[in-house]
Amino acid sequence: MTAMTVTPVPRSARTAAAAASVLGIAALAACGGTSAPPATDRSYADGTYTAEGTYATPETVETVSVTVTLADDVITAVEVVGDPKRRESEEHQALFIGGIADAVVGRDIDEARVSRVAGSSLTSGGFNEALELIKADAAE
Amino acid sequence: MDAAHVWEFEAIGTLWQVMTGRPVPGGVRRDVAELIELFDRAWSRFRGDSLVTALARGAGSVPAPPDAAAMLALYVAASEATEGAVNPLVGNALAERGYDAGYGFADAGAQPAPADWPARLTWTRASLTLAAPATIDVGALGKGRLVDLVAGLIGDGVGGPVVVDGSGDIAVRGTTERIGLEHPYDAARIIGVWAVADAALCASAVTRRAWGDGLHHVLDARTGEPVRRIAATWAVAPTAMVADAVATTLFFDGGPAFAHSQRAQWVRMFTDGRVEWSPGCTAEVFVRADSVEA
């Protein structure tokens, strides 16, 4: 059972127990949701347990901290906290962001009077050739 | 620029366009061709006779190409700013996903690039050294560097206004270009216009160098997985190398801070259609006014 990855540590000393997988944490939380006893013969001492896990998203390496409270081998409380570093990081990032819009309105290249267009690199063929094809497609 | 002479050619797998006030002499064209050939022979992981291929095959140490120090120093900054998402040893990870020298496009799964790359890849004036074989991929800023070099040669050889467009990486000298920001999901449309004068604009998008099941050429080096949150980025900076590097970092969380440190402006579009831009950004982005948050 994945709940085994939780090691008893004092709540204040959040040691970097890096091994807990996100899957393990999800399974643990599910146990808490149903208040079912852990499916194991082992018995845990009552108390509060904290584990931290990390996982990589495409953009960041995230850390989550899970704190569970056990009484008679039943999880009575679960607290999942995202990585505060990420939130600070987002606030920090916000200093460097001028604005954001939910709705961008595309305009036809023909209407916009631009001398050239920048997007992803063309992989082959000519710029004008491709642009003509695009215009031909758009004209249909 | 108006009434320009246009010289088009293909190099490093894409189309180039050079615009000048007067024709580019044959000697300058040959110099440009030679410059590009030397750069490609140093840095292309797609050719068997390049320096990076020699290093990938275990050469250990090779004579340092002239651009090694400038490019790799900027890689260090970009890698630090993105907490390792940008990494010049991502070549093997790209090849594993199918973007290999033979364009096999067969996905062998996600493979992170070596996180300790600054310890493995070292350089001096004289040599470029890899402690263990790995594939260098300078895709995050290499084309921008080459655009700068070509623009420099053309400027010296021809004079007057110069625009060098390496298919999305554009250097503008002595003139102003109105550059459309291509909609990543609809190439017939643009999402904004940027008037660029005496600076460079570089664009990157996940939609064209793409293959297979959601795979494309912008990987997070920490995981080997393609980025999912950002669809396209544009950056304006004094040099194309910096603009290219900033456009790459903007696919990750650290991008805006990196842009600030490099004095670059930027626009980026998320895969859900939202658009974000830098403080004081001079681009005109076509947005619905009521959808904007400062």
Q: To the nearest whole number, what is the mean pLDDT of chain B?
A: 92
Q: Is the pLDDT of residue A133 over 90?
A: no
Are residues B235 and B202 in contact, defined by beta-carbon separation less than 8 angstroms?
yes
Q: Is the pLDDT of residue A50 over 90?
A: no
Are residues B15 and A125 in contact, defined by beta-carbon separation less than 8 angstroms?
yes
**pLDDT (0 to 100) of residue A40:** 47
Q: How far is B226 from chain A (nearest CA, A)?
A: 7
Does any CB of chain B come closer than 8 Å to the CB of residue A126? yes
CB pair distance less than 8 Å for B229 and A56: no
Nearest to A100 among B191, B208, B275 (CB): B275
**pLDDT (0 to 100) of residue A4:** 31
Give the pLDDT band of residue A3 (cuts 50, 70, 90): very low
Q: How far is B55 from chain A (nearest CA, A)?
A: 26
pLDDT in tens, A13-35: 333 333 333 323 333 333 333 33
Query: In this predicted structure, which of A49-53, A134-138, B284-288 has the lowest mean pLDDT?
Result: A134-138
pLDDT in tens, A71-82: 776 666 666 555
- Longest CA pairwise span in chain B (Å): 58
* H-only helix segments in chain B: 26-43, 51-56, 68-81, 91-96, 117-120, 142-158, 240-249, 255-261
**pLDDT (0 to 100) of residue A113:** 77
Please tell me which residue, A109 or B281, carries the higher pLDDT value: B281
Q: Is the pLDDT of residue B147 over 60?
A: yes
pLDDT in tens, B2-24: 658 999 999 988 889 999 999 99
Nearest to B223 among A56, A108, A128 (CB): A56
Give the pLDDT band of residue B290 (cuts 50, 70, 90): confident
**pLDDT (0 to 100) of residue A52:** 61
Does any CB of chain A come closer than 8 Å to the CB of residue B56? no
Nearest-by-CA chain B residue for A115: B178
Q: B-contacting residues of A 33-92, CB under 8 Å?
A: 56, 58-61, 89-90, 92
CA separation for the pair B28, B35 (Å, rounded): 10
**pLDDT (0 to 100) of residue A35:** 36
Are residues B22 and B158 in contact, defined by beta-carbon separation less than 8 angstroms?
yes
Q: A-contacting residues of B 218-247, CB under 8 Å?
A: 220, 222-223, 225-229, 232, 234
ipTM over 0.90: no
Q: Which residues does chain A have within 8 Å of residue B202's beta carbon, measured at their own beta carbons?
A: 118
Does any CB of chain A come closer than 8 Å to the CB of residue B282? no
Does any CB of chain A come closer than 8 Å to the CB of residue B165? yes
**pLDDT (0 to 100) of residue A87:** 44
CB pair distance less than 8 Å for B190 and A112: yes
Does any CB of chain B come closer than 8 Å to the CB of residue A119? yes
Nearest to B274 among A60, A101, A119 (CB): A101
Query: In this predicted structure, which of A119-128, B44-53, B135-144, B174-183 has the lowest mean pLDDT?
Result: A119-128
Nearest to A123 among B85, B184, B208 (CB): B208
Nearest to B286 among A100, A105, A123 (CB): A105
CB pair distance less than 8 Å for A114 and B190: yes
pLDDT in tens, B66-91: 999 999 999 999 999 999 999 999 98
Does the predicted TM-score (pTM) go above 0.90? no
In this structure, what token pair is assigned to residue B172?
């503008």
Q: Is the pLDDT of residue B197 over 70?
A: yes
User: What DSSP line would sit under B175-196, residue for residue?
Assistant: EEEEEEEEETTEEEEEEEEEEE
CA separation for the pair A53, A21 (Å, rounded): 6
Residue B16: beta bridge partners? B9
Task: Provide the pairing of β-strand B210-211 with B215-216.
Answer: antiparallel
Are residues B76 and B118 in contact, defined by beta-carbon separation less than 8 angstroms?
yes
Query: In this predicted structure, which of A91-95, B93-97, B200-204 has the lowest mean pLDDT?
Result: A91-95
